């Protein structure tokens, strides 16, 4: 059912949140646009202007690695300045109230953690761009170290322990989905009584399968997104409004 207007949507959502004991939010790019993080997939977004570098190419080509890191450094002012929006803060409030065991996210911006969720309760399906990791041994690196090393040598650094390439801790195109995160997300989806899909167009599989999984396990499904999604038909409530406006009333509750 599509909410007639923002006010009735917020009211119905409030009733559903109050009635639920375990809420699992699933968030996409739309929750972070208020924080100034662009939606890479949107028309005119970064990925339509700049072809993403697939994982195989990153591994095989030093030039691709240099290019990937140059792009990431160019984005640093945007990511470094980003602060949680009303959507992030509302979910952090519900987490503190004990209603949310963890958040599942397609985002790589670290904003759920900054809003107050412990990292172990943020399930990142596409990884995290705010630090780097060796693709061989998994050793973690600060971006500042990568940048300094790049500036000193003129090329993307290898791991100090095993010499394999160091990459942002994100999941690139063609890279395997993180198995542990996928498993935890599936478990969360199947053990909640309210599933909130927020700011995702719900088209990227396998991540987009989680709302259906929750629904099949008996949860109520709410979809909050500016645009229609492919799964609106099966939702108990669809709120087609701005995420900050919709979740703002739940900040601090």
Question: Site for Zn ion (CB under 5 A): how many residues?
Answer: 8
Instruction: Classify residue 193 by its DSSP letter.
Output: S
Work out the burial of residue 116: count CB atoms within 10 Å of its CB; fewer than 13 is exposed, 13-18 middle, 19 or more buried. middle
162 touching Zn ion, by CB under 5 A: yes
Q: How far is the CB of 141 from Zn ion (least distance, A)?
A: 10
Residues in region 163-222 near Zn ion by CB under 5 A: 164
136 touching Zn ion, by CB under 5 A: yes
How many whole angstroms separate alpha carbon 169 and alpha carbon 202? 23
State the catalytic residue, choosing from 88, 112, 126, 191. Answer: 126
| Cβ atoms of 36 and 81 closer than 8 Å | yes
The candidate with the shortest Cα–Cα distance to 171, out of 54, 86, 4, 31, is 54
159 touching Zn ion, by CB under 5 A: yes
Window contacting Zn ion (CB under 5 A); options: 74-82, 112-120, 137-145, 214-222 = 137-145
Window contacting Zn ion (CB under 5 A); options: 77-85, 133-141, 147-155, 232-240 = 133-141
- Sheet containing 127-134: order of strands: 140-141, 127-134, 166-170
134 touching Zn ion, by CB under 5 A: yes
The candidate with the shortest Cα–Cα distance to 137, out of 165, 112, 116, is 165
Quick one: which of 97, 161, 203, 234 contacts Zn ion (CB under 5 A)?
161
Residues that are catalytic: 126
Q: Give contact residues for Zn ion (rule: CB under 5 A).
A: 134, 136-137, 139, 159, 161-162, 164
């Amino acid at each position: 059912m599509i909410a007639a207007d923002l006010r009735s949507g917020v009211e119905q959502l409030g009733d559903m949140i109050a009635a639920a004991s375990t809420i699992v939010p699933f968030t996409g790019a739309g929750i972070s646009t208020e924080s100034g993080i662009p939606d890479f997939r949107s028309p005119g977004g970064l990925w339509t202007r700049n072809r993403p570098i697939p994982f195989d190419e990153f591994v095989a080509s030093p030039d691709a690695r240099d290019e990937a890191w140059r792009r990431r450094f160019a984005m640093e002012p945007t990511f470094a300045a980003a602060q949680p929006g009303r959507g992030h803060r509302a979910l952090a409030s519900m987490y503190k109230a004990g209603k949310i065991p963890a958040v599942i996210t397609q985002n790589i911006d670290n904003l759920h953690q900054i809003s107050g969720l412990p990292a172990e309760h943020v399930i990142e399906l596409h990884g995290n761009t705010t630090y780097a990791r060796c693709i061989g041994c998994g050793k973690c690196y600060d971006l500042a170290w990568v940048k300094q090393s790049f500036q000193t040598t003129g090329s993307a650094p290898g791991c100090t322990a095993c010499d394999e390439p160091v990459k942002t801790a994100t999941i690139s195109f063609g890279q395997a989905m993180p198995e542990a995160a996928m498993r935890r997300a599936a478990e969360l989806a199947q053990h909640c009584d309210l599933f909130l899909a927020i700011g995702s167009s719900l088209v990227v599989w396998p991540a987009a399968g989680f709302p259906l999984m929750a629904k099949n396990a008996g949860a109520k499904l709410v979809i909050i997104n500016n645009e229609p999604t492919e799964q609106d038909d099966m939702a108990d409530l669809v709120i087609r409004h701005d995420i900050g406006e919709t979740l703002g009333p739940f900040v601090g509750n």
